[in-house]
Amino acid sequence: MAAIATLKDLYETLSPGLPGAGAAGLDRLRADGYARFLSDGVPTPKVEGWKYTNLRDLAGVSLAPAQTTAANTDIELPSVAPGKTHRLVFVDGVFNAALSAVGTLPRGVTLDSLRDLIESSPATAAEVLERFPAPKADTGLRVGPNPGRGQSGGLVGLNGAFLAEGAVLTVGEGVTLAQPVEIVFVAAAADGTWHPRLLIDVAAGAEVTVAEHHVARGGGATFANIVSGVRVAEGATLRHAKFQEEAETALHLASVTATVAASATYETFILTTGGRLARTDVQVRLEGSGASTRVSGAYGVDGSRHADFTSLIDHVSPNCTSREVVKGVIDGRGKAVFQGKIIVRPDAQKTDGHQLNRALLLSDTAEIDAKPELEIYADDVKCSHGATAGELDEEALFYLRARGIPADTARALLIAAFLDEVAGEIGDAALRAYATARIQDRIGRLTGITVDAVDAAVEE
Amino acid sequence: MLEIKNLHATVDGKEILKGINLTINPGEVHAIMGPNGSGKSTLSYVLSGRDGYEVTEGSVTFQGKDLLAMEAEERAAEGVFLAFQYPVEIPGVSNTTFLKTALNAVRKHKGLPELDAMQFLKLIRAKAKALNMNDDMIKRAVNVGFSGGEKKRNDILQMAMLEPSFAILDETDSGLDIDALKLVADGVNSLRSAERSMLVITHYQRLLSYIVPDHVHVLAYGKIVRSGGKELALELEAKGYAEFGSPEAA
Ligand SMILES: Nc1ncnc2c1ncn2[C@@H]1O[C@H](COP(=O)(O)OP(=O)(O)OP(=O)(O)O)[C@@H](O)[C@H]1O
Ligand SMILES: [Mg+2]
């Protein structure tokens, strides 16, 4: 608990210097966060939901945010459509106005750095922050011995204690934002901690695409603890992709809480290829009739790295659909965790819920812990889930080699083919192409082979 | 071209090939017939280098080189081709990506320049057309959702692209309709040349009336028990394999 004692000092020292300190709303939000962290703490494997992911590595990391940012503006930024997006850039967790570029936004759309918003109007900022639901330690309707605790509560609290950095996107009623919004986190320092808050509020009938990048440009053993709130109002569509490609020494913990109203759609894709330990917790509540969500993920871990994909899809209302496809490749002594729960509440008749989780194990020491769960309380529903873990198909490998393709290239082709299905889940063409390219890049680094696909050219 | 001497091979510890001797000269087409389970596919896998088939005795020399010492992909690059009895489905890998990767690997091995996407597509379209395969089929994932006959045609398309010097066709005729059989046979015949040899495994004389062999062999219970000319196929069709004994006798 030494870390917590130090954190108390840091919290007390840093708080007065945070933007909006002294404004009632923000002070309270931060105090609540700090209190929640004190009560829930850093999750341990004893907590349901953290059984397979051990945060012992956090012991050696400062939990308080970095106070400095590199002045460097000569940073190559990732982009799903270079020059054609609105972007906010954060270097070592701190908003960097010089690297950011927000074009002319349609009426009804705002895109701000949280720090700017707080500084210009702490009351508005507090109001916006409170609009978003906090992730719950939701274990469904079965009340366990400790229902209120666990999940990511302590980490969300920690994020709240130091609320300052982040991004806020609001899209007004009926507006379609043609250009994607990109939120880019660049790790440039050897270490450092950040607790950004990302808030996306899409009003009724609006439509927007958001790409989130987490990359290292010189960065090392950094710790990112990201909390995202997403609201998709009636009939609106949000396509949200996250590309987590940090250094192999980074720690990355994220929790996304989304509410989806009637006839609205939330599509999220999460690529996890960086970090010594990376976990994303996604909670989607389908609150209105006819809401739908697609949650998909691809990950790759090797060495002794660890990736965790945890999701909770909560069918609250009738006629909602959810589709989740998560696939990953594990090599070396890498380890992956998939926890996917679908809850269908008593009112959620005519639910269509589908979940698929597949892992490809490339070594004898690769490991996957998969825990799919269906909790169904309605009777007229269609729900399915499937989980597989296996090696590369020997027959396919021989077929490729029998045509002259060297064994390592054949393996790279089959790994790419395995992950191809997940990229295919992405509805937006630009996001899909970018995801495919990033997956190929990662496979290239894993196998040393770059496969030159010709599919696109055939279209001509 | 190919010289197989006293070849013995086991699968999972069970001896399947029990001393095969076979010499195939450049330009020759040999047919192998024989009862189910006699080891025909096993021979094709041993020649093409599939893992899990252990050669316990004997040798195979291909164009003067020790074939058995090579990896599967090396054999393919050297000009050995196997049209599979059961072509494999590979979801997520398109036919075009697969074949371009294969063709360029083989061309590289031969010291030829690699083809770019446009050159490749031009070539594959021409070859596919001859086999009555449309653009959609060449774009799709390898053999996924292909009918049995379409898979066989796809294998022959691969052969036409790779232009091997020695091709093994393992029951390529099974599952083909009458028109497709003719197309495939035409495809195979167009590859026949003084330098190219073939080993055609089949159960039916019909294929051999299209692809006329120079020699016909009967493989029964792991051994070649009889060899003859093309008329042997007709005789087998009439009499069956009874005279070659039963597994116990082998
Ligand atoms: N993995 C294995 N373990 C044990 N026996 C095997 C294995 N694979 C093949 N065999 C056996 O080897 C024998 C030869 O099989 P092979 O497939 O070579 O026959 P074939 O002559 O091609 O038959 P068909 O005409 O039916 O295609 C069969 O008895 C088969 O059961
Ligand atoms: Mg066979």
Check pLDDT > 80 for residue A67: no
Could you tell me the residue ranges of all domains in chain B? 2-249
Instruction: Taking residues A292-296, report their average pLDDT.
Output: 98
Whether A67 and A78 share a structural domain: yes
Query: 3-class SS at A179?
Result: coil
User: Interface of chain A against chain B, CB under 8 Å?
Assistant: 393-396, 398-407, 409-410, 413-414, 416-418, 420-421, 451-455, 457-458
Cα–Cα distance for residue pair A436/A257, rounded to 1 Å: 26
Chain-chain contact of B121 with A458 (C-beta, under 8 angstroms): yes
Instruction: Taking residues A78-84, report their average pLDDT.
Output: 95
**Residue predicted with more confidence, B227 or A456:** B227
**Percent with pLDDT over 70 in chain B:** 98
Instruction: Taking residues B213-229, report their average pLDDT.
Output: 94
Residue A364: what pLDDT? 96
- The residue contributing the CA closest to ligand 1 atom 13 is B37
Reported confidence tier of residue B240, pLDDT bands at 50, 70, 90:
confident
Whether A253 and A331 share a structural domain: yes
Condensed to tens digits (0 to 9), the pLDDT of residues A232-266 reads 999 999 999 999 999 999 999 999 999 999 999 99
Closest approach atom of ligand 1 to CA B39: 18
Condensed to tens digits (0 to 9), the pLDDT of residues B124-183 reads 999 998 888 888 889 999 999 998 889 999 999 999 999 999 999 999 998 888 888 988
| E strand residue ranges, chain B | 2-11, 14-24, 29-33, 53-62, 65-66, 80-83, 90-94, 141-142, 166-170, 197-201, 215-220, 223-228
Whether A426 and A318 share a structural domain: no
Whether A254 and A303 share a structural domain: yes
Whether A294 and A257 share a structural domain: yes
Domain extent, residue A444, equals 392-460
Check pLDDT > 60 for residue A456: no
Whether A328 and A450 share a structural domain: no
Minimum mean pLDDT range among A9-13, B100-104, B241-245: B241-245
Whether A385 and A405 share a structural domain: no
Whether A407 and A312 share a structural domain: no
Tokens of B192: 């026949």
**From A418, which residue of chain B is nearest by alpha-carbon distance?**
B92
Chain-chain contact of B139 with A455 (C-beta, under 8 angstroms): yes
- Domain stops at, among A391, A418, A437: A391
Check pLDDT > 90 for residue A378: yes
- Domain stops at, among A345, A362, A391: A391
Closest approach atom of ligand 1 to CA B85: 27
Smallest Cβ–Cβ distance between A404 and the set B73, B93, B141 belongs to B73
Residue A153: what pLDDT? 80
Whether A377 and A397 share a structural domain: no
Enumerate residues 6+ apart whose C-beta is below 8 A from A187. A92, A214, A215, A216, A217, A218, A219, A220, A222, A224, A246, A247, A250
Chain-chain contact of B101 with A398 (C-beta, under 8 angstroms): no
* HSE toward the beta carbon, residue B101, CA cutoff 13 A: 30
- Which among B12, B14, B173 is the best mutation to test ligand 1's pocket, defined by most ligand atoms within 8 Å of the CB? B14
CATH superfamily of B2-249: P-loop containing nucleotide triphosphate hydrolases (3.40.50.300)
Check pLDDT > 90 for residue A434: yes
Closest approach atom of ligand 1 to CA B203: 25
Check pLDDT > 90 for residue A366: yes
Which residue in A162, A166, A214, A209 sits closest to A10, CA to CA?
A162
Instruction: Taking residues A215-225, report their average pLDDT.
Output: 92
Whether A422 and A354 share a structural domain: no
**Residue predicted with more confidence, A137 or B139:** B139
> Is the Cα torsion angle A310, A201, A348, A156 positive or negative in sign?
positive
- The residue contributing the CA closest to ligand 1 atom 30 is B37
Whether A72 and A163 share a structural domain: yes
Mean pLDDT of chain B: 93
Residue A261: what pLDDT? 98
Cα A51 versus chain centre, distance = 20
- Which residues, listed in sequence order, are joined to residue A230 by a DSSP beta bridge? A200, A258
Whether A287 and A426 share a structural domain: no
Mean pLDDT of chain A: 90
Instruction: Taking residues A6-34, report their average pLDDT.
Output: 90
Ligand 1 residue neighbourhood (C-beta within 6 Å):
B 11-12, 14, 16, 34, 36-42, 85
- The residue contributing the CA closest to ligand 1 atom 5 is B11
Residue A57: what pLDDT? 86
Count of structural domains within chain A: 2
- Are the beta carbons of A17 and A163 closer than 8 angstroms? no
Minimum mean pLDDT range among A3-12, A347-356, B107-116: A3-12
If you measure from the C-alpha of residue B43 to the centroid of ligand 1, how many angstroms do you get, rounded to a whole number? 10
Instruction: Taking residues A153-161, report their average pLDDT.
Output: 91
Reported confidence tier of residue B202, pLDDT bands at 50, 70, 90:
very high
Reported confidence tier of residue A344, pLDDT bands at 50, 70, 90:
very high
Residue A346: what pLDDT? 95
Instruction: Taking residues A328-337, report their average pLDDT.
Output: 96
Residue A69: what pLDDT? 63
